[in-house]
Amino acid sequence: MSIRTLDTVVSQDEIVVFAPPPQVDIITEIGPQGTRGSKIWVGAGDPSPITIPNYEEVIVGDLYININSGSPNYSWMWQFVATPGGTTWKKIVKINPALYNGTHTVNFTGGVGTTNIPLEYIAETTATLSDTNFSVLVTMDGEPTAVGIARSFDNAAKVLTITINATQFSGGSWTPLEGVNSANLLVRLITGEVDL
């Protein structure tokens, strides 16, 4: 095998120097002011000209939190929205911790039992939810138990259904749970995926 080499000759008769321009102009004019971003208003009662100072400054997208602990709408967050009939305040979520903790009596057949939790026990919201908006932890009383769960949420009825699959270690072997048993439930509303 033979290798051939090529002779390379570089010839440059001219040198190009790149430099910044001789003068830089900075324009400091500011364009027209746009619409401000949303504000969060806080007041004692439902949102209204009485509870929001400078109510004429409220724009679509603004939020409002009711801090009146004596109000039926205490700790609700509202949003000012545009509707076909004009603008209005819409309740979107209650901002207290959206958490439920309770013990349910569940009847198991072949290791499967079901229990229901009304949404109002977990959180107060007018948002559309799905089963992925709920984090569920289930533990069983008694002997060591392996638990798996499935959850579904009915938006029309506002009810979370939890199906529990459980096997219990007893007498040296694992067997599907049977009969009435106590299930300890911890349910948390995950709002990160809620479409408000």
The answer for 84, left when phi > 0, alpha when psi is -120 to 50, beta otherwise, is alpha
Work out the angle at residue 179's Cα, subtended by the Cα atoms of residues 178 and 183, and round it to the nearest 5 degrees.
90
The per-residue pLDDT of the chain, averaged, comes to 86
Domain identity same for 118 and 73? no
How large a percentage of the chain has pLDDT more than 90?
Answer: 51
Residue 134 in any domain: the answer is: yes
Q: Comparing C-alpha atoms, which of 111, 43, 53, 52 is closest to residue 76?
A: 43
Residue 176 is predicted with a pLDDT of: 95
Residue 9 lies in a domain: no
Is the same domain home to 119 and 80? no
- Residue 7 makes CB contacts below 8 A (sequence gap 6+) with none
* 107 & 178 share domain: yes
Identify the sign of the CA torsion 114, 115, 119, 123.
Answer: negative
Pair (65, 52) in one structural domain:
yes
Domain membership of residue 89 (yes or no) is yes
Is there a single domain that holds both residue 72 and residue 123? Answer: no
- Based on the domain organization, do 87 and 104 belong to the same domain? no
For residue 170, the surrounding DSSP H or E stretch is strand 159-170
Q: What is the pLDDT of residues 53-85, one digit of tens each?
A: 999 999 999 999 998 878 888 888 999 999 999
Answer whether 129's CB lies under 8 Å from 138's CB.
Answer: no
d(CA 171, CA 177): 13
pLDDT band at 193 (very low <50, low <70, confident <90, very high): very low
Q: Running DSSP on this structure, what letter comes out for residue 192? A: G
pLDDT above 70 coverage of the chain, percent: 88
The predicted model gives 171-182 an average pLDDT of: 93
> Is residue 116 domain-shared with residue 81, that is, in the same domain?
no
Q: 């911890």: which residue's tokens?
A: 186
Which tops the pLDDT comparison, 117 or 30?
117
Residue 160 shares a structural domain with residue 75: no
Q: In terms of domains, do 166 and 116 share one?
A: yes
Q: Is residue 8 part of a domain?
A: no
What pLDDT shows up at residue 1?
57
> Looking at the structure, do residues 109 and 189 belong to the same domain, yes or no?
yes
Residue 41 clears pLDDT 90, i.e. is over it: yes
The reply to whether 25 falls in a domain is no
C-alpha gyration radius of the chain: 32
Q: How many domains does the chain have?
A: 2
Asked if residue 62 is part of any domain, the answer here is: yes
Domain hosting 58: range is 40-94
Q: Containing H/E element for 146?
A: strand 145-154
Where do the H-state alpha helices sit in 9-124? 119-122
Residue 130 shares a structural domain with residue 158: yes
